[in-house]
C-alpha cells in the first residue's frame, strides 16, 4: 500500500469485536510502521472529544520536509453498519463540537453507501448524460490522493476505512451480483476512494475477485490514478479484474493531483497489467486544458498507445462545475486563456448544466484533437466520450467510430474483457437510448 504517514489513526471500538477486522487492521498499520498501541480508540464516552481532535488535524498547519501532504490525512478504521435499519446518529451531534455534520458521524460509524445503481436510463435522460447503467461497490470514504478537482481529495478531513470486508462481500456484493444478471462487470469505485492505493494489505480485491470467480462471466473494475499494481501478480483470480486508469497530462498530474502517480508511471503500470493478462483501459478524465494542452495531451496519447495495449481510450472534459467553482478550485493561471475566456463568456448560459464550465464548441474542439492524436498511433483502439451529452455524441460518433447506443467504453457493466460488449436481454443499450429494452 501507499507509504501513508497519517497525522493520527483512530479506530472505532467495535472493530475489536471481529478477529478478521483486527488482523486486517494490524496488517495495514504494520505497513505504515505502526501498531495498535499507536491508535486512538473511539468509544461512546469520548466521541465528542475525538471528533473535535479529528477535525482540528486537517488541514495541517505545516508539512514536514520530504512528506507528501495528502499522505498525512488522518485515518479512521471502522466497520460498515450493514443492519437493515441503521441507528439515527443525529442525537450524537449534541456531544460533538459546534458545526459537526452528521456525515462526519456517519463516516466514523460506517454508515456508508454499500451499492449504488449508477446511471439508470431515466436519470441520464433527464441529465442529458450518455453512459451505461452499472452497479458500484465501495468500502472507503476519502482518498489517498489530493486532486484539486475532487471534493474528497481537496477538502476531505480524513479517510474512513471499513474493515469487515468478508461480511460486506457476502451480505452485499454476492446478493447484488445474483439479483442483477444483466450486469456483467461491476465497479469497485464508491465514495471518491482510490482503493488499490491500500492494497495488498487491505485485501479487498482478493475477496472481490474470489467472489466474482464464483459466477460465470462476472468481472470487476478497479479504477485508479495509481501505479500500485505489482501486488496483482500474486492475486488469485486476477483474470476477473479489469484495470481502468484515469490519465492526466503532465501539468495536471504535477500541479493538480498531489500524491498520485505520474502519467508515465500509470501507463507503465498498465503495461505491467498487460503482461499479467489483466485488461487495460485508459480514461482521460478530467481533461483540463492547460496552456500547452495540445502538445501535452499529444505526448500523453503517444505514450499510451506505444507503451501499452489498451482495449479502449476515453475522454471527458472537466465538467460538473460552473465557471465560479472552477475559479475557486483550479489554479487558473495554468489554464489556456482561450478556454478560460470561452468558459467565462458562457458562464451565464451554462451555469445550470452538468457539462459546464466549458461550452460545447470548446469541448468538441478538444475532443477532436484527442481523437486525431489517438488515430496517429492506433487506427483500431476503441474511442469514446464519457458522460457527455447526446448532442456531442451525434457530432462525434463518426470520428469516434462507435454507435452511441452500444459503444465500448472503459468501465461499463457490459464491457467485458477482450474489448467487446456482453449485451443481453437485461441491458441492450447505453443511456443514449431512452429505455433499456
Torsion from C-alpha of 118, 327, 349, 402, nearest 10 degrees: -40
Say yes or no: 98 and 204 in one domain.
no
151 belongs to a structural domain:
no
Q: What is the pLDDT of residue 434?
A: 79
Say yes or no: 203 and 273 in one domain.
yes
Here the cell at position 352 is 445550470
Please count the other Cβ atoms lying within 10 Å of the Cβ belonging to residue 18.
16
Mean pLDDT in order along the chain per 10 residues (437 residues): 98 98 98 98 97 96 94 98 95 96 97 95 95 97 96 93 98 98 96 96 98 97 97 98 98 98 98 98 98 98 98 98 96 98 96 93 98 98 98 98 98 97 96 81
Say yes or no: 233 and 377 in one domain.
yes
Angle at 161 between CA 185 and CA 29, to 5 degrees: 120
Instruction: Please report how the helices 337-350 and 360-377 are oriented relative to each other, as an axis angle in degrees rounded to 10.
Output: 130
Q: What is the pLDDT of residue 437?
A: 58
SS3 13: helix
Range of the domain at 91: 1-111
Say yes or no: 283 and 208 in one domain.
yes
Say yes or no: 287 and 392 in one domain.
yes
Q: What is the pLDDT of residue 436?
A: 66
Beta bridge partners of 135: 117
Say yes or no: 130 and 92 in one domain.
no
Q: What is the pLDDT of residue 89?
A: 97
Q: What is the pLDDT of residue 323?
A: 97
Here the cell at position 180 is 442483477
What is the tally of structural domains in the chain? 2
Say yes or no: 387 and 251 in one domain.
yes
CA–CA separation, 224 and 184 (whole Å): 20
273 belongs to a structural domain:
yes
> Residue 321: phi, psi to the nearest 5?
-145, 160
89 upstream amide cis, omega within 30 of 0: no
Say yes or no: 131 and 91 in one domain.
no
214 belongs to a structural domain:
yes
- Calculate the alpha carbon distances from 234 to 137, 231, 308, 413 in Å: 23, 6, 21, 26
CA–CA separation, 248 and 243 (whole Å): 16
Say yes or no: 106 and 208 in one domain.
no
Strand ranges inside 234-347, DSSP E: 241-246, 280-287, 312-317
CA–CA separation, 265 and 103 (whole Å): 35
CA–CA separation, 288 and 284 (whole Å): 9
Say yes or no: 50 and 131 in one domain.
no
CA–CA separation, 4 and 73 (whole Å): 8
| 395: CATH | 3.80.30.30
Of 223, 228, 210, residue with least CA distance to 4: 228
173 belongs to a structural domain:
no
> Residue 100: phi, psi to the nearest 5?
-65, 135
Q: What is the pLDDT of residue 418?
A: 96
Amino acid at each position: 500500500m501507499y507509504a501513508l504517514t497519517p497525522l493520527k489513526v483512530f479506530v472505532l471500538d467495535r472493530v475489536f469485536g471481529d478477529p478478521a477486522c483486527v488482523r486486517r487492521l494490524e496488517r495495514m498499520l504494520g505497513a505504515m510502521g505502526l501498531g495498535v498501541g499507536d491508535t486512538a480508540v473511539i468509544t461512546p464516552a469520548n466521541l465528542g472529544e475525538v471528533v473535535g481532535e479529528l477535525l482540528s488535524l486537517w488541514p495541517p498547519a505545516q508539512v514536514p520536509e520530504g512528506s507528501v501532504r495528502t499522505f498525512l490525512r488522518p485515518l479512521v478504521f471502522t466497520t460498515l453498519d450493514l443492519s437493515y435499519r441503521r441507528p439515527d446518529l443525529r442525537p450524537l451531534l449534541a456531544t460533538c463540537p459546534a458545526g459537526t455534520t452528521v456525515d462526519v458521524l456517519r463516516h466514523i460509524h460506517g454508515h456508508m453507501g454499500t451499492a449504488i445503481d449508477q446511471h439508470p436510463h431515466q436519470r441520464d435522460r433527464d441529465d442529458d448524460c450518455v453512459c451505461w447503467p452499472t452497479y458500484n461497490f465501495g468500502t472507503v470514504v476519502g482518498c489517498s490522493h489530493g486532486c484539486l478537482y475532487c471534493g474528497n481529495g481537496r477538502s476531505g478531513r480524513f479517510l474512513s476505512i471499513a474493515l469487515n470486508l468478508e461480511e460486506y462481500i457476502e451480505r452485499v456484493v454476492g446478493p447484488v451480483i445474483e439479483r442483477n444478471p444483466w450486469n456483467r462487470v461491476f465497479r469497485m469505485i464508491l465514495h471518491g476512494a482510490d482503493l488499490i492505493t491500500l492494497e495488498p494489505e487491505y485485501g479487498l480485491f482478493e475477496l472481490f475477485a474470489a467472489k466474482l470467480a464464483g459466477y460465470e462471466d462476472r468481472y470487476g473494475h478497479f479504477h485508479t490514478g495509481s501505479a500500485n499494481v505489482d501486488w496483482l501478480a500474486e492475486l488469485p483470480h486476477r483474470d476477473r479484474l479489469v484495470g481502468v486508469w484515469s490519465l492526466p497530462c503532465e501539468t495536471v498530474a504535477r500541479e493538480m493531483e498531489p500524491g498520485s502517480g505520474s502519467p508515465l508511471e500509470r501507463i507503465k503500470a498498465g503495461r505491467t497489467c498487460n503482461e499479467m493478462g489483466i485488461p487495460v483501459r485508459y480514461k482521460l478524465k478530467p481533461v483540463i486544458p492547460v496552456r500547452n494542452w495540445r502538445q501535452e495531451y499529444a505526448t500523453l496519447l503517444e505514450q499510451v498507445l506505444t507503451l501499452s495495449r489498451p482495449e479502449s481510450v476515453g475522454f471527458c472534459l472537466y465538467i460538473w462545475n460552473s465557471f465560479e467553482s472552477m475559479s475557486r478550485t483550479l489554479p487558473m493561471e495554468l489554464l489556456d486563456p482561450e478556454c478560460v475566456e470561452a468558459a467565462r463568456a458562457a458562464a451565464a448560459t451554462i451555469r445550470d448544466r452538468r457539462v459546464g464550465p466549458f461550452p460545447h464548441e470548446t469541448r468538441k474542439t478538444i475532443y477532436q484533437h484527442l481523437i486525431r492524436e489517438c488515430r496517429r498511433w492506433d487506427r483500431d483502439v476503441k474511442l469514446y466520450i464519457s458522460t457527455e451529452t447526446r448532442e456531442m455524441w451525434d457530432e462525434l460518433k463518426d470520428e469516434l467510430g462507435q454507435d452511441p447506443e452500444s459503444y465500448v467504453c472503459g468501465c461499463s457493466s457490459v464491457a467485458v474483457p477482450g474489448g467487446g460488449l456482453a449485451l443481453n436481454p437485461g441491458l441492450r443499450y447505453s443511456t443514449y437510448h431512452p429505455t433499456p429494452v
